Chains A and B, each alone.
Chain A
Amino acid sequence: MAGRAFPGEDRRVWLIIAAIVLGGALVIPLSQALFGLRFTYTVRVVALGGAILGVLSGALGCFAVLRRESLVGDALSHAALPGVAIAFLLAGRELSPLLIGAGVASWLGLRFVAALLTTTRIKQDTALGIVLASWFAAGIALLAYIQSIPDASQAGLDHFIFGQAAAIIESDVRLVSAVGAVVLLALALFWKEFKLVTFDAEFAGANGFRVGLINALLSTLVVVTIVLGLQLAGVILMVGMLIAPGVAARQWTQKLDQMVILAAVFGAFSGGLGAVISALDSDIPTGPMIIVVAFALVLMSLFLAPGRGLLWSRLRGRANRRRFAARNTLRDLYRYALAHGAAESPVPDAFIRGVGDRSAELGLSQLRGDGHVRLGADGWQLSQSGIDLARRDGRNQALWNVYRLHAHELNLPIVAEERYVDIASRLPAAAIAELERRLPGSAGG
């Protein structure tokens, strides 16, 4: 793990992006062949709309995830429903007024949460719960009322609850693309500010950034993204579309820019594929399909991603156990042998197994394989290479000890104390010589 961490990680991220894009492109001929899905004009519009919304929600969702505001996203999307209903009653079934209504209702919900937090002792999660439930309930009640109006029964507003991609038409996609382009442009322009405020708002404030303004701008972009996605994913599951791509992307990379790009690609894949699946049959709601695809990506990422993935950390744990078992066993053998005469003295098998129990087994087999130790009649005996290795290790530890004690007064360069690493690889030769002079038992000390 010395020096540069995760070499080749950048390349890996681009590979994944290429794979997903390729996979997305293959969906079309595959689904034609397997399911006999005909890529009619409608299906293409739906897929395109889903993909564009996926890009937006994936990119902006990263910030929701990193700011621990996933629940805020959930409350915001639920809170949009009454706005949709009221806008329909006022302006009829045109997408843009419906979305404006949704945005206003969300924004009012957010303001209400803020008001609850500043004027009462209610905590944030509770305040979000209050807004989520009450706004959503109001929305459902209004929808029920709208359904009861005779000439409005065809409105299909209930599609906003679970999402219905089939309802998306070309002009919707054009609207979403135009607004989405503005959102992404704003994200690019204020990238540095968003990153700083997300990582360390206090520091940003002390450096003269208008933290409140930047936060408000970022929240607005998230609200706009949620509102645009409502028709597709529905108010209930929109939060999944927002956070799942970010969660999956985080597993694969350690850089914010890569995370956002990867999340956008994951989002596009889930949005597009989910929309196409739901277009197979008008009874399949789109929101759940998108979420199924998105969370398949999340599961895969949580499990497989190198570095952070579960599989990886299992393997690393095993490798570490092996590495340290050999080292520790060698140390135990050497100490025992020295205490009983000389480095070549045999060490009883029962002793070494008693000290290290299972890891001794592991360590002994490795040391034996490398020729550092052999089993004689009286027990384990270090070979010359084993003795050398143990001495080198002991000297290395001793030098690290001297470094810790005297680095300051000797004015040595400051390096991280990685005691399992050869100190000579961390410090210049002159510094090592200084340390050696102060080793206990050396003439100069």
Chain B
Amino acid sequence: MEHPDRPALSIDDLTVAYQEKPAIWDIDLDVPEGVLMAIVGPNGAGKSTLIKAALNLIPRAAGSVSFSGLPYERARSLVAYVPQRGSVDWDFPTSVLDVVTMGLYGKLGWFRRPGPSERELALGALEQVGLADFAERQISQLSGGQQQRTFLARALVQDAQIYFMDEPFAAVDAVTENAIVNILRQLNQRGKTVLVVHHDLQTVAEYFDWVTLLNVEVIAAGPTSEVFTLENLQKTYGGRVSYLHGGQLMTASAP
């Protein structure tokens, strides 16, 4: 895989603090273009915080972020975001198609309303995630996995260069997991950069070619084959770590 000189995402000295304690501290991270990257770390490691701070959703205490060399303000159209699905009220009175169309609101800008062409784009995105039959359904009728795919479709419709996904695999069914993996691979083949907050160590090596191990600080970042080692995992999680790799149980304990 080719990685051009200018990284798709470049983070320098990023620190975010809630109250006094830093949630993430002095993050330096360059993500090359076209990688499929997992952000892995224990609970409270600041994985979501890292994404939100990169997207200017929460104030930074220090540091800077650039997207393909551009500051966030000028790179908005390059970036798509898939929040955790628990972050919204799924009883909101709206349809699946409508939620997906929201992905296009940013491009429409103030005052303009979505029309037939936006509808076509949204239907196309729903087709990709296997929810074409659900376009007119009310969102409260969706299962968790379908909710997740709706959110994914909303990001796909933005046709961005960099995708940020916060725990898309959390508590979803097998069909949804497969659908998401397919989408990730398609995005990867089209040269997009994808960052995924991920919890399942089992599947990191299978799904992702790049990985960042995070525990408040960046422990290691790079190609999965080099970085995703027991030693690094132990530095990230501390204590005892075990996971299945190639059908084999890998375990490491603190010395």
Contact = CB atoms under 8 A, between A and B. Distances in A.
Contacts of A39: none
Nearest to A189: B111
Contacts of B182: 414
B178 A407 contact: yes
A196 interface: yes
B87 interface: yes
A254 B91 CA distance: 9
A202 to B, nearest CB: 5
Contacts of B201: none
Contacts of A207: 76, 81, 103, 105-106, 158
Contacts of B200: none
Contacts of A416: 130-131, 133-134, 143, 146, 175
Given A66-B92, A189-B111, A202-B83, A5 B174 contact: no
Contacts of A4: 136-137
Contacts of A408: 178
Given A189-B111, A205-B56, A206-B81, A413 B137 contact: no
Contacts of A192: 105, 108, 112-114
Contacts of B111: 189
B64 interface: no
A257 to B, nearest CB: 9
B4 interface: no
B175 A417 contact: yes
B249 interface: no
Contacts of B52: 202
B85 to A, nearest CB: 10
B88 interface: yes
B55 interface: yes
Interface in B158-208: 158, 164, 173-175, 178-179, 182
A202 B76 contact: no
Contact of B95 (A193, A198, A200, A255): A255
Contacts of A254: 93-95, 138, 140
A415 interface: yes
A205 B164 CA distance: 14
A200 B105 CA distance: 12
B254 interface: no
Contact of A200 (B102, B114, B136, B175): B102
Nearest to B52: A202
B117 to A, nearest CB: 15
Contacts of A413: 130
A259 interface: yes
Interface string B80-104: 0101000111001111000100110
Contacts of A3: 133
A200 B52 CA distance: 14
Nearest to A258: B93
Among B105, B129, B133, B137, residue most surrounded by chain A Cβ atoms (within 10 Å):
B105
Interface in A190-227: 190-193, 195-196, 198-200, 202-209
B79 interface: yes
Nearest to B179: A414
Contact of A259 (B89, B93, B99, B143): B93
B64 to A, nearest CB: 18
Contact of B94 (A191, A199, A209, A407): A199
Nearest to A67: B89
Contacts of B133: 3, 415-416
Contacts of A66: 89, 92-93
B138 A414 contact: no
Contacts of B113: 191-192
Interface in A409-432: 413-417
B141 interface: yes
Given A205-B55, A255-B95, A199 B102 contact: yes
B57 interface: yes
A208 B76 contact: yes
Contact of A404 (B112, B137, B138, B174): B174
A191 to B, nearest CB: 8
Contacts of B73: 208
Contacts of B57: 202, 205-206
A402 to B, nearest CB: 13
A6 B138 contact: yes
A273 B102 CA distance: 38
Nearest to A417: B175
Nearest to B129: A414
Contacts of B179: 414
A250 B94 CA distance: 11
A414 B133 CA distance: 11
B93 A407 contact: no
Contacts of B92: 66, 198-199, 256
A286 interface: no
Interface in A144-190: 189-190
B162 to A, nearest CB: 11
Contact of B175 (A209, A250, A256, A414): A414
A206 B87 contact: no
B74 to A, nearest CB: 10
A253 interface: yes
Given A199-B102, A408-B178, 12 more contacts: A189-B111, A198-B92, A199-B88, A200-B83, A200-B87, A207-B76, A209-B106, A250-B93, A254-B93, A255-B95, A256-B94, A258-B93
10 contacts: A5-B136, A5-B137, A6-B138, A202-B57, A207-B81, A250-B93, A256-B92, A414-B182, A416-B133, A417-B173
9 A-B pairs closest in CB distance: A414-B130, A207-B106, A206-B81, A254-B138, A208-B76, A408-B178, A206-B55, A200-B88, A414-B179
